[in-house]
């Protein structure tokens, strides 16, 4: 069996602590994962994992050699890419992204990257809950925030603006909105997570915090987008998600002169050490791809 693949399987199981979870993530059967682990243990002539019916954990020897195995796999990938023709990448990368950004903007970018690099496989984990990058074997996370997680390494690649929107039909059948306090007369759609929904709006140097009443809440932006499109009310949505419908007239901006504070879109990764050529190339690609802010209004 391929020793590099066996090493990758061992690393994945070491972090997932589950043969089944690693099998699903790696796209192989559970028995095959077991065979690769056995191959690693036979190769090193040592037991690497403790197995029980409920849990998988590293043995003392497994803990002591995990870092060296990770370094060996990283080195093997580096050597393989160095001997390939210039510009040719191969291998896999695992990316984490919010559902809405993956849906609206990331997938076209990934498609373009794979067309340039046909030997690269990409696995996208779409989740609005920030996963532990190391535990979940995430190579690169795309996160939107005012400031990044200080425990991670990364860079801002684009700005994320938000806007208040509703359908023309909704606005035509409800009270006119001229100032932020007029929102109190409307059906507002908010993000789940707090009892009080405060929308912070800015007009030049003036700031207004309005506590809106949300009859409908959701924990994900595309769900709120669907509700807005259905005429349920007004919501604050990222322009990367709403700009197409705004431009084609399906949605209208509300309080055009009042805008939420922008955030940044970050590419984050656990460490600069042993960053694979694929991850480096993908970071550079996304930085260039989103340089023009295709979702800007």
Return the CATH number at 34: 1.10.10.10
209-227 mean pLDDT: 94
Does a structural domain hold residue 294? no
Does a structural domain hold residue 114? yes
- 231: tokens are 């005429």
More confident residue, 22 or 165: 165
pLDDT band at 81 (very low <50, low <70, confident <90, very high): low
Report the mean per-residue pLDDT for the chain: 88
Does a structural domain hold residue 221? yes
189-200 mean pLDDT: 84
What is the tens place of the pLDDT at every residue in 140-189? Answer: 999 998 877 777 888 899 999 999 999 999 999 999 999 999 999 999 99
Distances (CA, A) of 197 to 41, 63, 171: 54, 46, 21
Instruction: Let me know whether 13 and 59 are in one domain.
Output: yes
pLDDT for the residue 88: 78
- 132: tokens are 């532990």
CATH code for position 170 = 3.40.190.290
Helix residue ranges, H only, the chain: 3-16, 19-26, 30-44, 60-82, 99-101, 107-116, 168-172, 221-229, 239-247, 277-289
Q: What percent of the chain has pLDDT over 90?
A: 53
Residue-number span of the structural domain to which 148 is assigned: 91-160+263-289
pLDDT for the residue 284: 92
């Amino acid at each position: 069996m391929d020793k590099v693949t066996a090493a990758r399987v061992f690393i994945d199981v070491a972090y997932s602590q589950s043969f089944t979870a690693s099998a699903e993530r790696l796209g192989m059967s559970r028995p095959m994962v077991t065979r690769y682990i056995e191959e690693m243990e036979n190769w090193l002539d040592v037991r690497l994992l403790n197995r029980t019916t409920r849990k998988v954990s590293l043995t003392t020897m497994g803990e002591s050699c995990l870092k060296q195995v990770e370094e060996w796999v990283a080195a093997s990938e580096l050597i393989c890419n160095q001997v390939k023709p210039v510009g040719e990448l191969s291998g896999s990368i695992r990316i984490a992204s919010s559902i809405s950004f993956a849906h609206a903007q990331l997938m076209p970018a990934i498609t373009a990257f794979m067309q340039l690099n046909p030997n690269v496989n990409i696995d996208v984990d779409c989740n609005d809950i920030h996963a532990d990058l190391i535990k979940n074997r995430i190579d690169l996370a795309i996160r939107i925030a005012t400031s990044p997680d200080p425990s991670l390494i990364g860079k801002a690649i684009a700005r994320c603006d938000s806007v208040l929107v509703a359908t023309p039909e909704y606005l035509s059948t409800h009270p006119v909105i001229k100032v932020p306090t007029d929102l109190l007369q409307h059906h507002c759609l908010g993000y789940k997570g707090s009892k009080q929904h405060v929308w912070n709006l800015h007009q030049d140097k003036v700031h207004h915090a309005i506590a809106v009443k949300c009859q409908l809440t959701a924990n994900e932006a595309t769900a709120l987008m669907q509700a807005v499109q259905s005429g349920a009310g007004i919501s604050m949505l990222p322009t990367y998600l709403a700009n197409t419908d705004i431009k084609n007239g399906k949605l209208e901006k509300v309080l055009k002169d009042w805008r939420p504070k922008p955030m940044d879109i970050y590419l984050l990764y656990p460490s600069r050490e042993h960053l694979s050529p694929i991850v480096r190339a993908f970071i550079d690609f996304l930085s260039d791809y989103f340089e023009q802010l295709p979702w800007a209004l």
